[in-house]
């Protein structure tokens, strides 16, 4: 046998931006202005230079490999510079959700031990309030640059005053790169620590033709926030192929996003369903079109069939996905060009992700196709242990997602509910997700949710909560009548609660914890 060897090329995330700076130096990263009337833009080469100066700024403050730096910011050029500056030097980027209460953010920082908090200028008051609340050690607050920054006080000013490069890399690819806490919609938030190797492999999986399949010819806009599971990995994937990256900043309303898509020629955009509801409501209201937009990537929450149909009618492909913070986050995706499918379908897993269905006790189902079961997952980008926990989050290498799912004969997965959301009525189980899918497909329905309310006779009974489109006249009888013949008669709720606005968790999912708190009392 002839002995040989391959180069030990560490899979660290700094190499993604290095690649973009060398081979796509002038491809732009665009950030929408806060007033929605303009934009800032920078090439990948300049962005890399500025990110390396971020590393120097942090090193001057004693930050080194393994230290944690928190960010509290929107999707922007400056946030991206901070991201790569933190990760490139081997520190850990702890992304914080600005929509969470200051007390919860302080708790997270105390858990991570972050010594520096980098924040958008418009979040200055929140950042300082959070820093003062941290029990262990108050982190230093540094404001990002951009149009809201105060002269002499921003990270951009510190970058401008810094001279020289910073040598990235030189650490193990299994080193921690990021920390993100789960949304806490079903319990207390848990910290998920990402590694360079896991996120690098996740990027390669995301770029596969049957997953995201972006190229240097695409213009990609992640509306999903960078603080929400790494914006689904798009800030890594776009530099890796030299795709133009469009950052919406604070903008999230339909009109502003539609204007940005049109102005920058966005071809692929990603976000939760509520984002696209706002965009397509705006398009319908104004009679405008988005000719450049070819594909909308949807995840984070179930996509109502009615919304999927509205998007498809405009010739825009809908790409449904499924994932979790614990999966870095992508688990499955509908392949581009696969053709129309039920909006409840979440696609198939790519190589690097393995799925299985089990019964309630965790025993694998003998038949894995055309059967419903509890969904477990394993792979190189799947959590093994939560941050600060000694016990593993897996059983024999498999992670229990808490989801119920069905895998059809073609390998497409459909998330059929959350095991914690099941309603037990008269000793039998009711799956709210099946009812919600039917109700949400009605033209006048914006969003729907089904929760269980305590019942002295049956234990629990389902209650339907619904948000209708403005001026819609659908009656309660018509809403419930849509369920006749499609679910068991005893599944049908006897009560409908109409909401002017469905409460959403900070990540855009329906906040069932709040709904249960408000409407579950008998």
What pLDDT is attached to residue 153? Answer: 65
What pLDDT is attached to residue 376? Answer: 98
pLDDT value at 439 more than 50: yes
Lowest mean pLDDT among 39-48, 57-66, 413-422: 413-422
Same domain, 290 and 382: yes
Identify whether 5 is part of a domain. Answer: no
Same domain, 326 and 444: no
What pLDDT is attached to residue 344? Answer: 83
What pLDDT is attached to residue 184? Answer: 60
Confidence of residue 146 (pLDDT cuts 50, 70, 90): low
State the Cα–Cα distance between residues 168 and 159, nearest whole angstrom.
16
Q: What is the mean pLDDT of residues 140-146?
A: 86
Question: CATH no. for residue 191?
Answer: 3.40.50.12780
State the Cα–Cα distance between residues 256 and 269, nearest whole angstrom.
14
What pLDDT is attached to residue 135? Answer: 77
Q: What is the mean pLDDT of residues 73-79?
A: 96
Lowest mean pLDDT among 183-187, 310-314, 509-513: 183-187
Q: Rank 253-267, 340-354, 450-464, 467-481 by mean pLDDT and report only the highest.
A: 253-267
What pLDDT is attached to residue 305? Answer: 86
Identify whether 417 is part of a domain. Answer: no
Tell me the pLDDT tens digit for each residue of 5-25: 999 999 999 999 999 999 999
- From 407, 435, 458, give the residue that closes a domain: 407
Same domain, 318 and 457: no
pLDDT value at 148 more than 50: no
Contacts of 139 (CB under 8 A, 6+ apart): 70, 109, 114, 115, 116, 117, 131
What pLDDT is attached to residue 302? Answer: 81
pLDDT value at 166 more than 60: yes
Local structure of 350: helix, strand or coil: coil
- Mean pLDDT (the chain, rounded): 92
What pLDDT is attached to residue 508? Answer: 79
pLDDT value at 64 more than 80: yes
Q: Which residue has the tokens 């594909």?
A: 295
Query: Is 137 or 235 the better-scoring residue by pLDDT?
Result: 235
Confidence of residue 149 (pLDDT cuts 50, 70, 90): very low
State the Cα–Cα distance between residues 338 and 330, nearest whole angstrom.
18
Identify whether 209 is part of a domain. Answer: yes
Same domain, 316 and 427: no
- From 407, 435, 451, give the residue that closes a domain: 407
How many other C-beta atoms are found inside a 10 Å radius of the C-beta of residue 11?
A: 17
Same domain, 65 and 170: yes
pLDDT value at 521 more than 80: no
pLDDT value at 280 more than 70: yes
Same domain, 362 and 449: no
Q: What is the mean pLDDT of residues 403-407?
A: 93
How many other C-beta atoms are found inside a 10 Å radius of the C-beta of residue 282?
A: 17
Q: What percent of the chain has pLDDT over 70?
A: 97
Q: Which residues span the domain enclosing 491?
A: 422-519
What residue ranges in 65-128 does DSSP mark as E strands? 68-72, 92-95, 116-119
What pLDDT is attached to residue 147? Answer: 46
What pLDDT is attached to residue 35? Answer: 73
Q: What is the mean pLDDT of residues 195-222?
A: 98
What pLDDT is attached to residue 32? Answer: 95
State the Cα–Cα distance between residues 316 and 278, nearest whole angstrom.
16
Tell me the pLDDT tens digit for each residue of 345-389: 999 999 999 999 999 899 999 999 999 899 999 999 999 999 999
Report the domain count for the chain: 2
Identify whether 28 is part of a domain. Answer: yes
Tell me the pLDDT tens digit for each residue of 288-306: 999 999 999 999 878 888 8
* Residues with catalytic roles: 182, 326, 424, 429
Q: What is the mean pLDDT of residues 86-107?
A: 94
């Amino acid at each position: 046998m002839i002995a040989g060897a391959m180069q030990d090329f560490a899979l660290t995330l700094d190499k993604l931006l290095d690649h973009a700076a060398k081979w796509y130096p002038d491809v732009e990263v665009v950030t929408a202005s806060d007033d929605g009337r303009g934009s800032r833009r920078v090439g990948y080469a300049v962005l890399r230079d500025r990110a390396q100066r971020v590393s120097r700024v942090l090193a001057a403050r004693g930050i080194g490999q393994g230290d944690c730096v928190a960010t509290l910011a929107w999707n922007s050029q400056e946030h991206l510079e901070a991201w790569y500056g933190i990760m490139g030097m081997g520190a850990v980027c702890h992304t914080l959700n600005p929509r969470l209460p200051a007390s919860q953010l302080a708790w997270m920082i105390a858990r991570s031990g972050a010594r520096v908090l980098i924040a958008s200028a418009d979040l200055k008051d929140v950042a300082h309030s959070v820093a003062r609340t941290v029990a262990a050690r108050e982190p230093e607050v540094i404001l990002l640059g951009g149009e809201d920054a105060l002269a002499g006080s921003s990270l951009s000013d510190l970058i401008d005053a810094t001279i020289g490069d910073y040598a990235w890399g030189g650490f193990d690819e299994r080193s921690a790169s990021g920390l993100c806490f789960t949304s806490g919609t079903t319990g207390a938030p848990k910290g998920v620590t990402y590694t360079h190797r896991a996120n690098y492999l996740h990027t390669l999986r995301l770029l596969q033709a049957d997953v995201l399949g972006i190229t240097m010819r695409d213009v990609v806009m992640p509306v999903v926030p960078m603080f929400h599971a790494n914006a689904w990995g798009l800030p890594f994937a776009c530099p890796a192929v030299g795709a133009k990256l469009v950052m919406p900043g604070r903008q999230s309303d339909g009109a502003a996003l539609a204007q940005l898509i049109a102005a920058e020629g966005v071809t692929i955009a990603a976000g939760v369903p509520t984002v696209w509801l706002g965009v397509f409501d705006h398009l319908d209201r104004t009679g405008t079109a988005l000719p450049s937009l070819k594909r909308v990537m949807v995840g984070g929450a179930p996509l109502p069939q009615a919304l999927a149909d509205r998007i498809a009618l405009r010739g825009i492909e809908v790409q449904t996905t499924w994932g979790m913070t614990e999966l870095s986050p992508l688990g499955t995706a509908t392949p581009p060009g696969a053709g129309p499918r039920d909006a409840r379908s979440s696609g198939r897993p790519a190589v690097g992700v393995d799925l299985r269905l089990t019964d309630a006790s965790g025993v694998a189902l003998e038949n894995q196709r055309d059967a419903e079961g509890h969904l477990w997952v394993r792979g190189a980008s799947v959590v093994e242990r939560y941050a600060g926990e000694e016990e593993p989050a897996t059983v024999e290498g498999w992670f229990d997602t808490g989801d119920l799912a069905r895998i059809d004969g073609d390998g497409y997965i459909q998330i059929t509910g959350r095991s914690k959301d099941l309603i037990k009525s008269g000793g039998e189980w009711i799956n709210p997700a099946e009812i919600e899918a039917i109700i949400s497909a009605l033209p006048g329905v914006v969003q729907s949710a089904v929760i269980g309310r305590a019942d002295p006779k049956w234990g629990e009974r389902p209650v339907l909560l619904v948000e209708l489109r403005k001026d819609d006249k659908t009656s309660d009888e018509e809403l419930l009548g849509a369920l006749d013949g499609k679910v068991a008669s005893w599944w049908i709720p006897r009560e409908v609660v109409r909401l002017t606005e469905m409460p959403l968790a900070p990540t855009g999912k329906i906040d069932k914890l709040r709904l249960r708190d408000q409407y579950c009392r008998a």
